[in-house]
Amino acid sequence: MEKGIEIKKKTPLKKKTKQRIFIILMLAYPVLQFILFFGYVNFDTILLTFQKFSWSEGKYIYSGFDNYGMFFDRVINDPWTRRTIINSLFYMPVNSLIILPLSMAFSYFLFKKVPLSGFFRVVYFLPSILPIVVMTMAFSFTFDSNLGPVNDIYKWFFGMFDSNVIVPSWFGSYPTNQIMIFVYGIWVGLGFNIILMTAAIARIPDELMEYGQLEGIGFFREFRTIVVPLIWPTVVTTFVLGMTSVFTALLQPLFLTPTSPDTNTIALAIYNSVLQNENIAYMATFGLILSLIGLPIILLTRNTLSKFYAEVDY
């Protein structure tokens, strides 16, 4: 009897310690990695904005607000910096106002069992799984100004109206090449967004859709009054993702217009500076200031849009 009580007293304590060790062991690496590569990196980004690399001393030294001063000076006086920012800003309307609504409409009809919808769904997955290197190469080669298949089609089509038709150099100069980057973005982004939207539409309960049909409402009304409110959380998230592309767009200009400095973006400028290990302290400042301006706007948009329709659990 006494022995039993003793054991009972001991076990919970030992068990508690064992549990603690277990928790610490399981979380040690993930938390450490996170503290270093998220916490410290963000903290160091702020430090870096007050530093510059001294070649004579071979290390980073304090430089006060020099980087900040340089940022505002360049925004005002340097046309390349301004163009970089403006190019990046255009990614937002392309993603959030063109690709998103188009993909919502596409997904709705894909869901409506258009013939071959299963096949389409598989094909539209391609942009999400193929490497962007290959997607961009396929795209730019299709428009290659000497050997690309689009040239022949263009000549054949416009040749019917004008015998001296000249094929434009699609990636040759600004702003045509910037527009081509957005065309590429739509081509690829449509597939990606359709995948997201069809998944959201597929979650809508059958009863709700059937109710609409019994009432005999048309496609447009069903889309507007049933589908859109019910997939709204996904729409908001995708819209916000489109806004963040202002800060993240980098590989499209890098791969589609590798030799053109005109199509630079914020993220590409930062990437290139790191790749060449040049001016990284200034680029950290560049990114930080723009994030500080952009993040509140993104958060505000997110909150405002979320209020359009009450979130429904289904």
**Per-residue mark of binding to other proteins, 131-150 (x: CB under 8 A):** xxxx--xxx-xx----x-x-
Least distance in Å: CB of 229 to other proteins?
14
Q: What residues pair up with 60 in beta bridges, in sequence order?
A: 53
Torsions phi, psi for 173 (to 5 deg): -145, 160
**Per-residue mark of binding to other proteins, 245-264 (x: CB under 8 A):** --xx-xx---x---------
Work out which of 1, 7, 13, 122 binds other proteins, going by CB under 8 A: 122
Residue 182 or 255: which CB sits closer to other proteins? 255
Q: What residues pair up with 54 in beta bridges, in sequence order?
A: 59
Q: What is the DSSP secondary structure assignment for residue 40, as one 8-state letter? A: I
Residues 274-303 that bind other proteins (CB under 8 A): 274-275, 277, 280-281, 283-288, 290-291, 295, 298-299
Interface with other proteins, residue 111, by CB under 8 A: yes
Interface with other proteins, residue 311, by CB under 8 A: yes
Interface with other proteins, residue 156, by CB under 8 A: no
Asked whether 136 and 252 are in contact (CB, 8 A), the reply is yes
Q: What's CA 65's distance to the chain center, in Å?
A: 31
Distance CA 82, CA 68 (A): 16
Least distance in Å: CB of 164 to other proteins?
22
**Per-residue mark of binding to other proteins, 214-233 (x: CB under 8 A):** ----xx-------------x
CB-CB neighbours of 189 under 10 Å: 23
Interface with other proteins, residue 94, by CB under 8 A: no
Question: Is residue 82 classed as helix, strand or coil in its secondary structure?
Answer: helix
Work out which of 10, 17, 40, 300 binds other proteins, going by CB under 8 A: 40
Q: What residues pair up with 62 in beta bridges, in sequence order?
A: 51
Residue 75 or 251: which CB sits closer to other proteins? 251
Interface with other proteins, residue 125, by CB under 8 A: yes
Q: Which residue type sits at 129?
A: I
CA–CA distances in Å: residue 280 to residues 41, 42, 60, 277: 14, 14, 11, 6
